[in-house]
Amino acid sequence: MAERQSLKKRIKALLYFFPIRLFFFHFRSGHLLLILWVFLFGIVLKKFLVKYGAYNLFLYPEYLDRVGILSHLILGFGIGVFIMGYQISYYILFGRYFAFLATLRKPFLVFSLNNALIPLAFVLVYGLEMYDYQHHEQLMSSTAIFINLFGFLLGLSLSITITLTYFTQTNLNIERTKPKEKMSYRPIQSLLTRREKWYLNLPTNEWRVGTYLTPNFSIRAARGIEHYSKETIKLVFMQNHINATLFDIGLIIALLVFSFFRASEWFILPAAVNFLLLFSILLMFISAIYSWFKSWSVLIFFILFVGYDQLANRAGIRYENYAYGLPYDQKVPYSNAFLQGLTSDTVAVQEDVEREILILNRWKSSQEKEKPKLLIINVSGGGSRAALWAMSGFQKMDSVLDGKLMTKTHLISGSSGGLIGAAYYRALYRSSSSGGPVQPNDPMYREAISRDLLNPVAFDFSLNDWIFRLRGLTYAGYNYPQDRGYAFENQLNKNTYGFLKGKLSDYHNAEKNGQLPTMIFAPSIANDGRRMIISTRRMTFLTKRYALDRRKNTALIDAVDFHQLFQPIKRDSLRYLSVLRMNATFFYILPIVSLPTEPRIEVLDAGFRDNLGMLTTLAYARQFKNWIMENTSGVVIVRLVDHEYQTFVQEQPEKSFIESVRGPVAGLYQNYLNIQDFNQDLLLNQLNTELEGKTEVITIEIPKNETRRASLSWHLTNSEKKLIVESFSAPSNQKALQRLKTLME
């Protein structure tokens, strides 16, 4: 019996131990804080956002194009900021439920120490996962990994020490609190300490604490507060909460000021740090609002949200991203009636067809055979993974064709990162053919296209775009605000040594004279799902509607030609990098681009309609099938796909209720590329029939790997880059390259 009672006492003492009480308090009131921690644990443990490589950002941080002690130190500092933001928020929101803290000499330090279970668990899990990832997947030595861990812990310790020093020096306790009538109020205190605020009323449901952990790591019994004046205890929490709120405000202001220096690469932090800073700002902002308005917080958040939305919608303030080089003081109409008028312009279509035949004839005249194969290359989207795959594919194909890939290719189409890689190779070839000291097949350019693009985008997303874009830029005589769209273009320009800078129109003459393959971009229009056909010249034949039946019922308008739509305004200054970005705008990561129309239309990633650019290729080939039959020996279509071009049957285990709810939506999202592939294979078969069997399709793909995969992101690790490049050694790809050589010979 005595042993049973002793066991009950030990269990009771454990349950009333302050760290345990704080941990369980999360499940009672700290749900938001708990969700954030679950999200971070999920990323590090590769449970959340695995497809997009979110874990890479934490387990292999990159700073100034390098992964080392400095990048880990900065990441550690960022995690330390988040941890202290969490501690401050928790203290502001719930510290008053543990009134014994007011009796301690360093209340916030004790609170943070006892509330360290979750942060310590995260740091431990992070350290183990980082070692495992860098050792097994990045093939780093144990010495290098321990140096990185040291940098991480140093940065973590530094940020925590700075925060705790501030609170240790400024926070009051009962011993340091003067009687109320003798206290001298500073203006900021007078403003923030009105009697009707919540912190002048201690909660009636205070949580009992038996023992707590001291800064000396000893266990001490919590002192009772019955013999202290409630007014004194209230003043202690009041002053401590004011300090915490002022610290939050100061940190937010410091981060916003920090964002003004983003033009320097030294201030472009690792992407994971940027997202942690954003979480910290939101966390502290929410806790500050809640601490002052408590039951009114929901209403206050609603008022702030609506107020910001209304303010942002005003001219000159609203958030809008631009295609640099286009004038936005002029608008062109955009409506179904107006588009029907454009597609009914048979004169324009005939002019464009005749011009295109002249270009095809110039291309043919440069070929060695009387009836050459018309080579068309389609590249898939997929962020930096697709960009590196496309760039590597062009280099491999050029080597196989003895340096004649660009002269044999007439058309390039695709989406997102794949078309960025193709555009880079074409730009290098253009410089090389003009006498520049450039070797397009040099591995240095392959390495360049695979460099990080996510860090500057994440920096602007976290510290700039979500408030007001105060910095601007001037391009082609027009002024635009800077945002993460510009950060993406600017970093891409740096990564590619400036070969992609300039205007879209700079490529017009080379394409027209058959010196360069024609490249067609087709970003999706968010307003109606149509494609925006963008090239160096007008191509209205790609938007032409066909009769569906004998009664002349016409098909829907599937696409809009950029040059035809914007003919009334100056459009020749459109920045080439902006075109590449419009074609690769995956929502939220990059801002959707607005175009100068009335009503305003927005364009985003071409992959939402056509990930391989196959709709463009098929429309082009069908339009000129007569010319192809008369002047060529057939069409060769090469598909550069950054994943295995195959359909896999997904297992369907017994569904839980949640899985049955999310299943239809998740299945549609996972298979939308398969749906595109099915439809396009049917159209390819129709094209082959129309060309009397003279269509050859070659697929070069990244084979499926059960243990390793490259993430869909604008950031690649060294192991992912190696995996992508080595995929060309797969037997299926070697056969495909050999088949391409045979066909073109």
Angle at 519 between CA 518 and CA 525, to 5 degrees: 140
Strand partners, 638: 377, 698
Nearest to 175 by CA among 106, 95, 98: 106
Q: Please, what are the domains in the chain?
A: 9-312 (no CATH), 332-645+657-744 (3.40.1090.10)
Q: How many CB atoms lie within 10 A of CB 172?
A: 19
**How much is the pTM?**
0.86
Which pLDDT belongs to residue 183? Answer: 41
Alpha-carbon span 460 to 466, nearest angstrom: 9
Which residue stretches of the chain have pLDDT < 50?
Answer: 179-200, 315-316
Angle at 426 between CA 512 and CA 532, to 5 degrees: 65
- For residue 181, what pLDDT is reported? 41
Give the Cβ contact number of residue 14 at 10 Å.
Answer: 12
Report the distance separating Cα 583 and Cα 680, nearest Å.
Answer: 19
Question: In a 3-state reduction of DSSP, which class is residue 633?
Answer: coil
Residues 6 or more apart whose Cβ sits within 8 Å of residue 403: none
CA dihedral (317, 323, 328, 330) positive or negative: negative
- C-alpha–C-alpha distance, residues 430 and 438, integer Å: 9
CB 583 within 8 A of CB 415: yes
Q: How many helices (H) and strands (E) does the chain have?
A: 29, 17
Its sign, for the CA torsion 202, 206, 211, 215, is negative
pLDDT digits (tens, 9 = 90+) for 520-570: 999 999 999 999 999 999 999 999 877 677 777 777 889 999 999 999 999
Token digits of residue 380:
């898939």
Distance CA 389, CA 629 (A): 32
Report the pLDDT value the prediction gives residue 191, as an integer from 0 to 100: 34
Cβ pair 352, 538 in contact under 8 A: yes
Q: Which of 687, 679, 681 is nearest to 635 (CA)?
A: 687
- Cα 75 from Cα 72, distance rounded (Å): 5
Q: Cα–Cα distances in Å, from 6 out to 3, 14, 335, 471, 622?
A: 5, 12, 80, 67, 87
- The β-bridge relationship of strands 634-641 and 695-701 is parallel
Give whole-number Cα distances, 281 to 247, 250, 685, in Å: 11, 11, 54
Could you tell me the two tokens for 511?
């394409």
pLDDT of residue 7: 60
The amino acid present at 552, given as its one-letter code, is: K
**Of 574, 562, 502, 604, residue with least CA distance to 328:** 574
Cα–Cα distance for residue pair 191/325, rounded to 1 Å: 49
**Number of other CB atoms surrounding residue 556 within 10 Å:** 10
At residue 199, the pLDDT reads 42
Tokens describing residue 394: 């062009």
Query: CB-based burial of residue 16 (10 Å sphere; 0-12 exposed, 13-18 middle, 19+ buried)?
Result: middle
First to last CA, the chain: 94
Residue 136 is predicted with a pLDDT of: 84
